[in-house]
Amino acid sequence: MRRRAIASVLVLILLATASFAQKKDALDSEGHAWWQHAVFYEIYPRSFADSNNDGIGDLPGITSKLDYLRWLGVDAIWIAPMFPSPEVDWGYDVSDYFNVNPDYGTLADMDKLVATGKQRNIRVLLDFVLTYTSDQNPWFQESRSSRTNPKREWFIWRDGKDASQPEKTPPTNWTSLFGGSAWRFDAATGQWYYHYFYPPQPNLNWRNPEVEKAMFDVTRWWYKRGIAGFRLDAVDVMFVDSQFRDNPVVGTEKNALGDPVEREIYDKNQPELHGVLQRLRKVADENNAVLIGETWTSDIAQLKRYYGEHNDEVQMPMDFMFTTINKLSPPEFRHQIDWIEGSGEWPVWVLSNHDIRRVYDRYGDGQHNDQIAKLMASLYLTLRGTAVMYYGEEIGMEQNDPKRPEDVKDSQGRLGWPKEKGRDGERTPMQWTDSTNAGFSTVAPWLPVDDRYKTYNVESEKKDPESILNYYQKLLTLRHTNPALLEGKYIALNESDPNVLAFVRSYKGENVLVVLNMSSSGQTIKPELTQNAIAAKEGKTLLSSFNAREEMNTNEMTIPPFGAWIGELK
C-alpha cells in the first residue's frame, strides 16, 4: 500500500516536471517573453564550485550556489559543456550527448540542479556542441571504421585532391582555427575527414538528414529533463561549401599560427545553416525553450540574419561586436548600440566569456579597475535587451594567465605559447571566500586561483557596501524592477561627446537617465533632455558608483573619473 502511494507520488512529480518543460510562459504586457528580461549567467563548470574536493567544479557545486545566484539577480544559467568528453577542448569535444561527465556528477545530479533551480526561479540551459563531436564519440568511431559504414556520411570525408598522392594532398586549402590544415588523413580508410577546430573534433555532416534528426533528438531528450534551452556553439561553421572550393588566400603574410591568411568564404557562414536553425527553433518552440547563439559577426546585417527573417531562428544571438570594442570609447559603444537599436531586433549583450579575456582587465587601466568594472556593468546592464554575464565578473575577477608553459591547460595556449597563452586566464576558479583556494576546493584546483582572492571573493565583498559585488546586486535589482529599465526605449543623448556616454530609457512617461564617464578626468555634461522632448528638472539617484547626491541637477552634471550615474528624471 505504502509502496503504491510512493509510486503515485513519483508519477505525479514526473508529470509535473514534464509539464514544466512544455508549459508556455505568459508574455508580459509589452509582449515580451521571460528571457527578454532575464539575466543569464554563464558557468564554466570545471571552475565554479567543487562539492567533493577533487579540485574540479561539479554539478552539486553549482546547485549549492543557486541561492547566491538568486540573491545576485540571476534568472538563468548556461553551463558550458558538461557532457562526457576526452577534454581535448575542455568539454567542447563531446563523446556522449546523453550523459554527464563523471568529473561533474551524474544525470541524477543534473535533475537535482534543474529541480532546485526551478524552486528558485533559475532556469538551466546547456551548451549544445552541434557542429562537431569528439573523435571518441561512437558515431565517429563507426564512421571511421569503413567507407561503407552506415555512419560514414555522418561526417565529412573526402579523397585527397591529387589522386597520385592522395594522402599528401588535403581536399581543400581550408585551415583549422587551431592551426594547420582543417583535414586529417585517416590511413585506415584512405580518406580525409574535416575538422574546423582540433583534429579530435570532427565536423558533423549537417547535409545528412540523419544527422539533423539525431541532433534534434538530443535537444528533445534534454528538454524532457527540464532544460530550458541551449547555447548553440560555433553555428557559423556548421556547413562547408558543397563544391569544396578553396578559400582565396589574402597576401603572403602568415597568421599567428603560421598558416596563410584566408578569406573564409567556403568554410564558414554557408546559407544552409539558417534552414537548420529554423527547424531547430521549431523544436525549441514546441518545448518553450530559448536558443542563444554563439554568433560571431562583423556587421549588423550578419547578426540580423541569425534572428531569422521572421524571427524564426535564434531568439538570442549574442552581439560579440560589442566585445571587440576593447577600449572605453563612447563613440564606438554608441555606434554599436545604434546599430542594433536601428535593426529593430532584441539586443543580447555580453562582455566576456570563456573564450574572451576578462572584462576587468580588458577595460581596466591598472589603477581604477574597480570603478571601471562598475562603469562597464552600468553600461550593458542598463541597455534595452538581454544580458549574458560571465561567472566572476560580478566580483571583479581578473585575467590570470599561466606563467609557465608547463602549466597551460588550454590546447590553444600550448600550441601558441608564448605569443598566445590560451584561455586558461579567463577560466580560473570562482573566488568564494578568503580561505585556502578561495573556498573553491580544499585541494589544489585544476587551475590556480587568482592571487587577489583574499580581497576579491564573494564572502568578503558581500560585507563591503562599496564592493563590485554589491554594486552588481543593486544594479540587477534595479534592472528587474524599474519599468523604464525593463521596457523603455533607448534614446541616445549628447552624441558627439567623446568622453561621456549618456542615454535615457523611456517608458510611459517614466525616464531613467544613465550617464557614464569613460574618461580618466572629471567631466561636466549638459544632458540634451529638452532637445529630445524630455521634460525634467532634476534626477533622483537610483544607483551611482560614486558618492552622488540624492537629487542631481540634470541641467548640468559633473561626473568623476570613470563614474557611473543612474537616476530617475522628475
Binding site for ligand BGC (CB under 6 A): 89, 92, 197, 201, 233-234, 294, 354-355
Answer left, alpha or beta for residue 247, where phi above 0 means left and psi between -120 and 50 means alpha.
beta
Least separation in angstroms between CB 531 and ligand BGC? 43
Q: 203: closest CA among 135, 291, 147?
A: 135
CA distance 48 to 58: 8
- Judged by beta carbon, residue 232 or residue 387, the one nearer ligand BGC is 232
**141 in helix, strand or coil?**
helix
Choosing from 58, 89, 212, 233, the catalytic residue is 233
- Distance, CA of 471 to CA of 544 (rounded, Å): 9
Pair 563, 544: CB distance under 8 Å: yes
Strands 316-317 and 290-293: parallel
127 is an active site residue: no
- 101/523 with CB nearer ligand BGC: 101
- Provide the grid cell at 169: 594532398
The least CB distance from residue 44 to ligand BGC, in Å, is 10
Contact 140, 155 (CB under 8 A): yes
Please, what is the minimum distance in Å from the beta carbon of residue 318 to ligand BGC? Answer: 11
Q: How far is the CB of 355 from ligand BGC (least distance, A)?
A: 5
Nearer to ligand BGC by Cβ, of 262 and 294: the residue is 294
DSSP 333: H
**Residue 230 or 453 having the CB closest to ligand BGC:** 230
Distance of alpha carbon 272 from alpha carbon 243, whole angstroms: 14
Choose between 237 and 375: whose C-beta lies nearer to ligand BGC: 237
Q: How far is the CB of 31 from ligand BGC (least distance, A)?
A: 32
Q: Is 381 exposed, middle or buried (0-12, 13-18, 19+ CB in 10 A)?
A: buried
Nearest residue to ligand BGC by CB is: 92
Measure the CA–CA gap between 478 and 255, rounded to whole angstroms: 45
CB of 296 to ligand BGC, least distance (A): 9
CA distance linking residue 66 with residue 421, whole number of Å: 32
DSSP string, 85-99: ---TTTTSS-S-TTS
Cα 282 from Cα 289, distance rounded (Å)? 10
Q: Which residue is catalytic, options 162, 210, 272, 286?
A: 286
Name the region of 327 (left: φ>0; alpha: ψ -120 to 50; beta: rest).
beta
Is 286 designated active site? Answer: yes
CA distance 112 to 109: 5
Q: Which of 109, 120, 77, 117 is nearest to 290 (CA)?
A: 77
In terms of CB distance, is 79 or 542 closer to ligand BGC?
A: 79
Beta strands in 426-509 (DSSP E): 489-493, 500-507
Q: Whole-number minimum distance, CB 46 to ligand BGC, in Å?
A: 12
Active site residues: 233, 286
